[in-house]
A = this chain, B = another copy of it.
Amino acid sequence: MNLKKVVNEIRNFEGILRKIAIKDVVETFDFNDEDYEFDIIVDFGDDAAVIGIDGDNAILLAADGIWGKLLEADPWWAGYCSVLVNCKDIAAMGGKCVGMTNIISIKDKDICREVLKGVKDGVKKFGVPMVGGHTHPDAMCNVLDVSITGIAKKDCILRSDNAKIGDKIIFAYDLVGQIYKSFPLNWDTTTMKSKKLVRAQMDALVQIAENKLANSCKDISNPGAIGTLGMLLEVSRKGGVVDITKIPKPEEIDLIHWLKVYPGSGYVLTAKEENFKEIKDIFEDVEMTAEICGEVIAEKKLYITDGENKEVVFDFEKEFICGC
């Protein structure tokens, strides 16, 4: 295997490079203002923000905009994915989804109609209501932004920034699916599955959270497997070593391609080794495959290996992915 080539492909992957824009936004907001009525537990840098409300509960907030080119090329899928990506963000925190709002800017009515149909189908599949929003009927561009609110017990949140040295790095995927026709980087595992299974796959993360089985978790999204792991390690201020040949993968998919894919149901977690079996069983119960692929280390670099050679993908002492 040409590991240097893999490193190069990952480092130049647009799905990762786009994350750098987060830094400017994050630096604008600080949370030293003690005026806030509620307790901010997690802000930028995780799949969702977490705010404590009453004694036990916390509210989770996340939002996602759909890439313009996706929206125009396949508006139905954009609408459907706007639901999927937000639900995954809440699930990745170990939370339950409460409801969503959307803001649609309409330049082309036909595109808008297809987008809404996709959103509706996503709502039916994931069982999370779209309850409100805002419409711009006269926009210059077609834009779809969706936000989601979730809920979780304060002491059962799966954060991105809590990876511990010595944790095993676990990748979990639903491997049964297909490359989505219009977007080769999307691994569709939900359109053909029952809503019962799709929702059970989200509940799996709630089980992992409530049983305190993992130290950190992130849903695999636009940056792909290694990019997502990189963001998790970056905010945890740790490093890691990953054997990419151990990452669960459908046989027919090329490895480099797989590392860039946005899966319909896929997560990276870190956990004590003793918890792995239980995590694996929870995922298997919902038809997902989980494997240990590496370990969290103190040195702030992310290495990939193929079992023989080892290369640095990210050196967090010198660079950042999102800068959170």
Closest chain-B Cβ to A203's Cβ sits at a distance in Å of: 10
B40 near A129 with CB under 8 A, answer yes
- CB 8 Å contact bits of A140-157 with B (1 = contact, 0 = none): 110101010101000000
Contact A116 B53 (CB under 8 A): no
Contacting pair B143 A105 (CB below 8 A): yes
Pair A63/B132 contact, Cβ less than 8 Å: yes
Please report the C-alpha to C-alpha distance between residue A46 and residue B25 in the assembled complex, in whole angstroms.
30
Task: Decide yes or no whether A250 CB sits under 8 A from chain B.
Answer: no
Tell me how many residues of A have a C-beta within 8 Å of chain B. Answer: 73
A98 in contact (CB, < 8 A): yes
**Complex Cα spacing A54 to B152, Å:** 12
Interface string of A30-45 (1 = CB under 8 A from B): 0101011110101110
Closest chain-B Cβ to A163's Cβ sits at a distance in Å of 20
Shortest distance from the beta carbon of A222 to any chain B beta carbon, whole Å: 10
A237 sits at the interface (CB 8 A): no
**What mask results when residues 1 to 38 of chain A are scored 1 for a CB within 8 Å of chain B, else 0?**
00000000000000000101110110011010101111
* Residue numbers in B under 8 Å from A61 (CB-CB): 98-101, 131-132, 147, 149
A124 at the interface (CB under 8 A from B): yes
Q: Determine whether the beta carbon of B59 is less than 8 Å from that of A139.
A: no
- Whole-angstrom distance between the alpha carbons of A10 and B136 in the complex? 20
Q: Which residues of B contact A44 (CB under 8 A)?
A: 131-133
Q: Is the CB of B145 within 8 A of A99?
A: no
CB of A129 within 8 A of CB of B65, answer: no
Q: Is the CB of A140 within 8 A of B63?
A: no
Given contacts A33-B124, A120-B28, whether A134 and B53 have CB atoms under 8 Å apart is no
**Given the interface contacts A21-B137, A99-B40, A102-B63, does A151 sit within 8 Å of B68 by beta carbon?**
no
Residues of B contacting A149 in the complex (Cβ-Cβ under 8 angstroms): 51, 59, 61, 149
Contacts of A38 in B (CB 8 A): 98-99
Given A99-B51, A145-B103, A28 and B117 contact (CB-CB distance below 8 Å): yes
**A53 in complex: contacting residue of B65, B101, B151, CB < 8 Å:** B151
A301 within 8 A of B: no
Closest to A196 in B: B35
Q: Are B136 and A67 in contact (CB under 8 A)?
A: yes
User: Is A62 engaged at the interface, CB distance under 8 Å to the other chain?
Assistant: yes
Residues of B within 8 A of A138 (CB): 18
Of the A-B pairs whose beta carbons lie under 8 Å apart in the complex, a sample of 30, sorted by A's number, is A24-B112, A25-B104, A25-B135, A28-B116, A28-B120, A35-B127, A36-B129, A40-B99, A40-B129, A40-B131, A43-B129, A43-B131, A44-B131, A44-B133, A48-B132, A51-B131, A53-B151, A59-B59, A61-B98, A61-B99, A61-B100, A67-B136, A68-B139, A68-B140, A103-B145, A105-B141, A134-B145, A139-B143, A140-B141, A141-B141
**Assuming A44-B132, A51-B149, A139-B143, what are 6 further A-B pairs, CB within 8 angstroms?**
A21-B135, A25-B104, A37-B127, A62-B132, A64-B134, A103-B103
